[in-house]
């Protein structure tokens, strides 16, 4: 499967193609790799954040279905990303795996730190009570957004090693 416009020049994909402000950015590749990531984020944004109170009134089966849909889309994203990384050359694969590992670890650590600080009452003490009742972040939308941000940061850090 073609994953990149660059492949038309017989060249394998590069991680730059997912970075929106990079000159190598490719909408086509970004869509092929990130469509399920985007879908998971949108489902979670709508069901967990925007209409969270409405969804809480739904029957248990409906709510479980939403959670399973979110995680299924994440799984599909992982499969697409795996296929994309597999079609890279050795250096770009090494670089992208490092960026993904960084993004996943940073997202996990950020979540753990945030939950710990929230449990300790840090945010309430510093910023006061939140308007929507909790400082907690626990939705897939938050995780997707953080992962995307950390992918960009990881790209900036690791790309410099080879420039």
Partner 1 sequence: MKNKLRELRVAKEWSQSDLAGKLNVSRQTVNAIEIEKYDPSLPLAFKVARLFKSKIEDIFELDPD
Shortest spacing between CB 58 and partner 1, in angstroms: 47
Cα–Cα dist 92/101, whole Å: 14
Question: C-alpha distances in angstroms, 83 versus 49, 56, 76, 86?
Answer: 31, 36, 11, 5
Q: Site mask, partner 1, residues 82-111, x = CB under 8 A?
A: ------xxxxx-------------------
CB of 150 to partner 1, least distance (A): 22
Are residues 151 and 103 in contact, defined by beta-carbon separation less than 8 angstroms? yes
Which DSSP helix (H) or strand (E) runs through 99? helix 90-119
Measured from the CB atom, the residue of 17 and 70 that comes closer to partner 1 is 17
Report 10-69 residues binding partner 1 (CB under 8 A). 10-14, 16
Site of interaction with partner 1 (CB under 8 A):
6, 9-14, 16, 88-92, 161-163
């Amino acid at each position: 499967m073609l994953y990149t416009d660059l492949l038309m020049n017989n060249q394998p994909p590069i991680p730059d193609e997912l970075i929106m402000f990079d000159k190598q950015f490719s909408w086509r590749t970004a869509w092929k790799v990130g469509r399920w990531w985007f879908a998971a984020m949108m489902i979670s944004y709508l069901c967990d954040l925007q209409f969270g109170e409405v969804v809480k009134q739904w029957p248990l089966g409906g709510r479980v279905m939403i959670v399973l849909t979110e995680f299924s889309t994440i799984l599909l994203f992982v499969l697409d990303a795996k296929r994309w990384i597999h079609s890279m050359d050795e250096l770009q694969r090494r670089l992208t795996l490092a960026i993904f590992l960084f993004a996943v670890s940073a997202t996990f650590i950020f979540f753990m730190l945030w939950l710990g600080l929230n449990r300790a009452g840090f945010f309430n003490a510093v910023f006061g009570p939140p308007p929507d009742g909790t400082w907690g972040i626990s939705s897939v939308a938050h995780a997707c957004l953080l992962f995307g941000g950390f992918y960009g940061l990881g790209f900036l850090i690791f790309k410099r090693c080879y420039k």
